Amino acid sequence: MAAEATTPGECTPGALTPGAPTPGALTVGRWPADRAATDPARPAILDRGVTVSYGELEARATALAHALGEAGHGRGARIATVTGSTADQVVLFFACAKAGAMLVPLSWRLTAGELAAQLTIADPSLLLVEDDHLPVAEAALARLGEHRIRTTTLGASGVEAQVPDASAHLGHGVPADDDGLLMLFTSGTTSAPKAVVLSHANCAWNNLALSRATPLTPDDVVLQVLPQHHVAGWNIQPLLAWWVGARVVLERTFDAGRALALIERHRVTATMGVPTTYRALIQHPDFVARDLTSIRTAIVGGGMLDPRAAEQLSQQGVHVQQGYGLTEAAPNVTICRDESDAGTVGRAYPHVDLALLIDGRVEHGPGTGELLVRGPAVFQGYFRDPDATAATHHGPWLRTGDLVARDAAGRIRIVDRVKDIVRSGSESIAPIEVEMALLEHPGVADAAVAGVPSDRWGEELVAWLVLAEPVDEAALAEHLDGRLADFKHPKQYVVVEDIPRTTSGKPLRRALTAAYTQERADA
């Protein structure tokens, strides 16, 4: 039985209780043990030339779990990391799962100030850092003043050799299904990042749904390209792979050329990326030369992949499945299953209920409204933030903030973020629709569209473009004619070297519009 938690992710630690000596049925720490018992020599992880077998993964994770508990980082503790995607962090993840602690993977791309802010929210008992990222971690810790966090490095020569003692002892305990397993910070496209708590049960149900919609077998080889501080770095393919006994090739930090080489070398059968991931592969000089035909499952999330890119991938034998999800749903919500789902993000995963919020009413049929999600994978809440947790719910439903259209067959088409809809005059315009149309032009490598203040219209559209080849505004206007109504055409174009995006691939429209407005004010 799970101990009562005062806030998502916090539980009352305790020793093994009589009659309940084993972890909850849905706890994730048992997964490598199951695989190690049947095939210990089978490769579990390939990380920059180093192979970790299921037997080694289980042995290292079990030893580290015991050491964490002995040092006071047991059930109810939070253990933060700053690292790229590494086998050492996978060992730590399963150690935390066994010990009842919660892993808090933080982005190595953060500034010292941003990292300090997230450490303040997470309040971990231990911070583990990859050597390459020690400078930013130390700078972040210096900002915390007297609030010191025990710190050491990841891996066999770091925390696995010696665990620093916790300042407040949380000893051995039995993990329960509803205990926090992962704390992941949201991207913060519409507000400051918040700490999402996913329990063992959330992750188990998410992977059960994934296994029914896009199954993996022990013979599969998964290429993980999304970072481990992102929910998809765990819950879209990697964890399912370790559940069934497949192998996972880790891409520490994404490089398109290296990823293409890894696919060919290891005969990768499954991967997942955001639209910018796939566009980077397409635009790399080696894209056509590499043999990608081993890929059986290629999931895309974090936004819609444009049809031109999907066709280019198909010509190389890679047939993508468009999906949709969000961190708070652990993340899988919908997936395209066949050609009838083209142009949408598909239909609900198993064990996921969907509804629409239209004019304050919950509707279950076709229509257009804010997408609502319900199911056992939906998160426990934001860590120590009950007001934000309450605000993201409508009764038992999770509010996604995404405006969607649903047809009679249950297919979901994303219109846009509710907060991103541009209201120009009497018209409402979805930036994503304009972005997709612009990306159909061969001269446009990447695009982001947002509304900026207009004295005449209230708001007007500006498009930021990364060009693959020279193209002028007249050619772009001609390209959009017949694709979009005139009022959806951008009033201005800004050519940039790159589009700032979150780690999940979403354009940071607020950053673009703020910079645009400031430049105009300074002119």
Q: Which letter does DSSP use for residue 363 in this model? A: E
| In a domain? residue 325 | no
pLDDT at 190: 52
Does residue 230 fall inside a structural domain?
Answer: no
pLDDT, tens digit, 9 for 90 and up, residues 86-126? 999 999 999 999 999 999 999 998 888 889 999 999 999 99
How far apart are alpha carbons 53 and 325 in whole angstroms?
Answer: 31
Looking at per-residue pLDDT, the higher value among 463 and 423 belongs to 463
What global pTM score does this model have?
A: 0.85
- Residue 356 has φ and ψ, to the nearest 5°, of -120, 140
CATH code of the domain in which 518 resides = 3.30.300.30
Q: Between residues 373 and 191, which one has the greater pLDDT?
A: 373
**What is the average pLDDT score of the chain?**
92
pLDDT at 384 over 90: yes
Q: Which helix (H) or strand (E) covers residue 240, if one does?
A: helix 238-244
Percent pLDDT > 90 in the chain is: 77
Model pLDDT for residues 194-206, shown as the tens digit of each residue: 999 999 999 999 9
pLDDT tops 50 at residue 488? yes
Tally of domains within the chain: 2
Name the residue with higher pLDDT: 103 or 488: 103
Interval 58-87 mean pLDDT? 97
Residue pair 141/148 in contact by the 8 Å Cβ criterion: yes
Q: What is the pLDDT of residue 58?
A: 98
pLDDT at 339 over 70: yes
pLDDT exceeds 60 at position 390: yes
- Mean pLDDT along residues 254-270: 98
Give the per-residue pLDDT at 421: 81
Of 124, 144, 175, which residue constitutes the final position of a domain?
175
Residue, of 253 and 257, whose pLDDT is higher: 257
Backbone angles phi, psi at 18, to 5 degrees: -55, 135
Confidence of residue 16 (pLDDT cuts 50, 70, 90): very low
Q: What is the mean pLDDT of residues 282-288?
A: 97
User: Looking at 74-83, 145-154, 488-497, which range is the least confident one?
Assistant: 145-154
Question: Is 517 a member of any domain?
Answer: yes
Helix (H, G, I), strand (E, B) or coil at 487: helix
pLDDT in tens, 427-463: 778 898 899 999 999 999 999 999 998 877 888 999 9
Q: What is the pLDDT of residues 293-323, one digit of tens each?
A: 999 999 999 888 999 999 999 999 999 999 9
| Model confidence at 365: pLDDT above 70 | yes
pLDDT at 399 over 50: yes
- Please give the angle made by the CA atoms of 398, 504 and 198, to the nearest 5 degrees: 45
User: How would residue 4 be classed by pLDDT, with cut points 50, 70 and 90?
Assistant: very low
> In this predicted structure, what is the pLDDT of residue 250?
98
Domain end (from 175, 190, 211): 175
- pLDDT range class, residue 12, cuts 50, 70, 90: very low
Residue 351 in any domain: the answer is no
Residue at 40 is within a domain? no
Whether the Cβ atoms of residue 311 and residue 333 lie closer than 8 Å to each other: no
**Looking at residue 152, what is its pLDDT?**
97
Confidence class of residue 498 from pLDDT cuts 50, 70 and 90? very high
**Which range is least confidently modeled, 210-214, 403-407, 509-513?**
509-513
Tell me what pLDDT residue 448 has: 96
Residue 71 lies in a domain: yes
Domain assignment present for residue 199? The answer is no
Q: Is 188 helix (H, G, I), strand (E, B) or coil?
A: coil
Residue 1 has pLDDT above 60, yes or no: no
CATH number at residue 156: 3.40.50.980
Token reading at 13:
């630690």
Of 175, 202, 236, the residue that ends a domain is: 175
State yes or no: pLDDT of 260 exceeds 70.
yes
Omega before residue 331 within 30° of 0, cis: yes
Q: What is the mean pLDDT of residues 382-405?
A: 95
CA nearest neighbour of 104 among 231, 216, 14: 231
Give the model's pLDDT for residue 17.
36
Question: Which residue segment(s) compose the domain that 120 sits in?
Answer: 54-175
Q: Tell me which residue has tokens 């993201």.
A: 392
Evaluate if residue 166 carries a pLDDT over 90.
yes
Check pLDDT > 90 for residue 482.
no
* 34 occurs within a structural domain: no
Lowest mean pLDDT among 75-79, 193-197, 371-375, 483-487: 483-487
